[in-house]
Structure 1
Amino acid sequence: MTTIQPQRRSPARIAVIVISVVVLVIGVCLAVGGGVLLLVFGSGGSLKSGTHAVSTPTAAVVTDTAQITDTSRLTRALGDPSVSVHASGGNGSGLFIGIGPAADVDRYLTGVAIEQARDFNLDPFALDAVRRDGTALASPPATQPFWVASGATDVTWPITDGDYRAVVMNADGTPGVDSRLAVDLNLPGLFGYALWFFIAGLVLMAAAIVALALGRPRNRAPMSPAPAPPRY
């Protein structure tokens, strides 16, 4: 009868297997993370909300205060980040899109009825707003000097440190805003990082799989049983 003796795993081989599994997990995480970034931001490094209707019977839709700090690190890593807004609609006077310091925007809209956005997401797009009543009339927003970025249809703002709000209004400041908006978050350097993560993850996965295949225990050659002693 022929038997096969399994080979025992040496401590070195066990260590190789453990390290290979760890490398495999890291590779999967890198590849999946890079793939998701490539899928969401694309080759241009932009997260796009798509076009959505934004309307209010009040004088303005106002975002919550965005507290932005330490953009220099983000700039060094991912290039110059920016936000782009593309819009259509408004009344006969047209539409106004503006981004300005939060304190100045609040001062300008004191006593004016507005829709205050409490939560805003790009992907998937979501705008959760609560109405703030008021009786004051807003002057035409373009007459205000504090806007850091403004326009009627297309606005791009290079993101900088500070506290900011964005507004959507009729160009004459009257109530009843009906618009369609698309918002893009632009991170131009992200594509390179995402591609590097994805490729590095695939390389690590391949290396780990090869190491695991080579580290598999091999069966010893079959051993024949000792011959039976002769009978007399």
Structure 2
Amino acid sequence: MTTTPTAPVPTPAPTVQRSWSGWRTLLVVVGAFFALSGVTLLALGGVGLWAQQQRDSDGYFTAGPERVSTSTYALTAPALDIGGAGPDAFYTDDFLGKIRIGIESTTSGTPVFVGIGPAADVAAYLEGVGHDEVADFAVDPFRLTTTARAGDKPATLPADQSFWVASGTESLNWTARSGDWSVVIMNADGSPKVDARLSVGGTLPAVEGVTIGALIGAVLLLLIGSAVVVSTTRG
């Protein structure tokens, strides 16, 4: 009787597994960092998109109106440094864009004047005039901290001055530019006891750029981080 030999069953080759080295751990950590940074930028972009919806019909972000008052002849914000170095660079003209200030007297009769002018010229005009200078302010709740400057009434009316870059008795519009500026609020007839409601708005063009940049960066970082983590763990 002839026996047919049985073919030997091939033994599968041993699976070579890649050891989990320190480099792989490092790559996972780096990938996770990129992905987490992408999530952070995505949240920032989401806030930016929400902020874009807060503009009014004219494209301004607006705060107020809030009540401002002084028993003196003027209320001033004496140091608006635009385009400076260091921390002041945050308030560049590219960031602020167009500025709108609305002013409305809370008492009948005398209208309230608001003007923006070079700080040196404003200081010279108010030299010897009783006024309050804004030293600090809080937003919620709104509150001004002022420093009183003793003096008499102004020799001339605010609207008669030629140094204003923007002024008005109901509102003013100004495209921000580099310089050292002051904002002044007075009764138009130069009388004391200013009492008004003030609103401030700005187009803030940088908000749109920051939002787009954050969303693009978020997508890139999420793609890079996910690719690094997946390729490393699957290997």
TM range (shorter): 0.7 to 0.9
- In the alignment, the residues of structure 2 paired with residue 164 and residue 102 of structure 1 have an alpha-carbon distance, to the nearest angstrom, of 5
Q: Show the counterpart of 2:32.
A: 21
Instruction: Give the total of aligned pairs.
Output: 212
TM-score (norm 1): 0.75
One-letter code of the match for 2:41?
L
Identity among equivalent positions (%) equals 33
Secondary structure class of the residue paired with 1:174 = coil
Q: Show the counterpart of 1:230.
A: none
Q: Show the counterpart of 1:89.
A: 105
The one of 81, 88, 107 aligned to 1:67: 81
1:77 Cα shift?
A: 9.8
List runs of 5+ in structure 2 lacking aligned partners.
1-16
- In the alignment, the residues of structure 2 paired with residue 43 and residue 195 of structure 1 have an alpha-carbon distance, to the nearest angstrom, of 17
One-letter code of the match for 1:55?
S
- In the alignment, the residues of structure 2 paired with residue 163 and residue 123 of structure 1 have an alpha-carbon distance, to the nearest angstrom, of 27
One-letter code of the match for 1:67?
D
- In the alignment, the residues of structure 1 paired with residue 47 and residue 222 of structure 2 have an alpha-carbon distance, to the nearest angstrom, of 17
TM-score (norm 2): 0.74
The worse-fitting range, judged by mean Cα deviation, of 102-111 and 124-133 is: 124-133
Q: Pick closer, same or farther for the CA change 1:117–1:49 going to 2, 3 Å.
A: same
Q: Show the counterpart of 2:4.
A: none
The worse-fitting range, judged by mean Cα deviation, of 123-132 and 74-83 is: 74-83
- In the alignment, the residues of structure 2 paired with residue 158 and residue 95 of structure 1 have an alpha-carbon distance, to the nearest angstrom, of 22
One-letter code of the match for 1:30?
L
One-letter code of the match for 1:54?
V
Equivalent positions of 1:1-232 (< 5 A) are 8-11=19-22, 13-40=24-51, 42=53, 44=55, 46-69=60-83, 78=94, 81-89=97-105, 92-120=109-137, 125-202=142-219, 204-205=221-222, 208-209=225-226, 211-213=228-230, 215-216=232-233
One-letter code of the match for 2:194?
V
The worse-fitting range, judged by mean Cα deviation, of 75-84 and 203-212 is: 75-84
- In the alignment, the residues of structure 2 paired with residue 88 and residue 106 of structure 1 have an alpha-carbon distance, to the nearest angstrom, of 24
CA deviations over 1:2-30 (Å, ceiling 9, x no partner): xxxx9742455324312212212321332
The worse-fitting range, judged by mean Cα deviation, of 127-136 and 161-170 is: 127-136
1:199 Cα shift?
A: 4.6
Q: Pick closer, same or farther for the CA change 1:144–1:82 going to 2, 3 Å.
A: same
One-letter code of the match for 2:102?
H
